[in-house]
Structure formats: structure tokens, C-alpha cells
Structure 1
Amino acid sequence: MEEFEFITQSADETSILAKRLSEKLTRRDVVTLEGDLGAGKTTFTKALAAGLGIKRNVNSPTFTIIKEYTDGRLPLYHMDVYRLEDADEDLGFDEYFHGEGVSVIEWAHLIEDQLPNERLDIKINYINDSTRKIIITPYGSHYVDLCKELRDESISH
């Protein structure tokens, strides 16, 4: 599986990458986010939401599992499944994955068996206080093309 690696030197650079990604997303796209606590998953999601034109404040849905933001170019379904007690329980994720918006799932490995086969997996690795290594793994040709565009833009900037 092809991976795309990006190094960001600040939260602003991470946000720019997320905004560039958001410009390429279409309805029914699924993005998973993994990384240690404090690695920048919510920062990434906030920038992605801003890139979709969402004006509402985006924060981690830790205790509600799913938050919906519908005021942008596409709806954003932000999921944090970290505190799911029974990952086998059907919570209707499939309805979101096949809905009209973009699904972003933090701690997605906890519901691996419920994720669609075609998706974009993003791992944010903490390097130091300002530097992150972001590894994006596309599953499906749509996501491979999206990653190639993102990489080509990053090279030219």
C-alpha cells in the first residue's frame, strides 16, 4: 500500500495541509485519524472543517461520540470513538459513511471492522513541540489520486 508522508513544522503548517485536503474531499469521503493524545487530531479536524467552510467551533466529540456540522460546503461528521465501551455495537456509522457529508473518525482502529474498505487513513506522529510527521494511507483509487494531488501541491509550495 502506497503511503504519503508530510512533515509539518508548526500547527499552522498542519492546518494548511488539512485545509488543502478539505478542498479535495467530496461527499461520502471517510477520513480516519490516529495519533497519540496531543498529537494534533482535533487541530487537523478543525482546519479541515474550516476548509469545508464550516463556521461553528469544532471540538472533540469525546463524550458525545458524533458531532455534526452542516453549515459548510459539505456536512462534516466528526466522530471520536475513543470511549466506546462496546466497539461491536452498531451505532449507525454506516449511515454517516454513505451520507451526504465527510466523515472524520478519531481513534478509528477501535471500529476497524465497521470502516469502509475505501477510505483515507491519517496517522499524526508527534516529533517535538512543533513538528509532526503525517502519514496518509489511501485505500481506493479515488483516495490515491487525492493524495497524489496533495503531494504535488506540497512540492510546488
Structure 2
Amino acid sequence: MEILGLPPHTVLALAAAITGPVACALSLWFAIRVEHRDTWRYPMLISATLATAAILGAFVTGQRLIEADPDLAVDPMVAAHQDYAARLVLPTVGWWVVAALSGWLNPKTGALKLALPLLLTGFSAVVLVLVILSGDADARSLWTSVTNRF
């Protein structure tokens, strides 16, 4: 199966590399800027949902690529990318859960008013760093494989 002539992992990894940082930035904006929470809650929630779908889809299709060609796992650059991607799954799910709760509840008082933005900030930072590291490792492995062919 191909999407626009590209393997699904390529399309989903590109979508994750674009939507992940944007959604994390929106989540951080939502968590830090209290006066803008009512305005930014739905864009934050929608972008977090799209980024989570792209990240998890890229992880699943990447696993399928490794299963189809086990020689890929031997390459140290691909192994680094795969390691970062595996570390990214649980924080992404946690980030989405906290973003969904923050977006839907949008508490004005009480402990959740402080706890949810704090958790959202932490998860957003972790997901942002791991998306960047995973994308960097992927780009380096792709560059190495291209330069080795020529």
C-alpha cells in the first residue's frame, strides 16, 4: 500500500514531524497562558489528537517495516531511530490523555486548575524532545543510506 507513491511510514513520520511540534507548542501555550485557555482549548485538543494519531501510526508502520526487512534493525542509525520511537509511545499517550482532560474540562478552580497544566507542560516537553530526536535519527539514517549508495 502506498500513499501518493510513498510508503505509509514515510507519510506518517512526516506528519508526526510536523504536527508533533506544533501540537506541543499549542499545548505549552494553553498551559502557560491562563487568559487564553478558553480560546485555545479546541485547537490544542484537535492538534494533540492529530499528532498522537500520526505518532502512533508512524510507530506501527515503522514496526511493520522492521518485520518486513529485519536487516534494517542491524543498522545502528535505524536502531537509534527505533529506540527513540519506542520511547515516544507512552509519553505520547499520556500527553494526549492530559490534553484531552485539559481541553474538555478546562477547570477554572480547584486542584485540577494547577495539576492539569503542570502535567500538560511536562508531557509536552517530553514529547517535543523525543519527536525531534526521533526525526533527527531518522534523517541521519536516511542520509547515511543515501551516501553509502553513491
Structure holding more helix per residue? 2
Instruction: Indicate the structure (1 or 2) with the bigger Cα radius of gyration.
Output: 2
TM-score with structure 2 setting the length: 0.30
Structure holding more strand per residue? 1
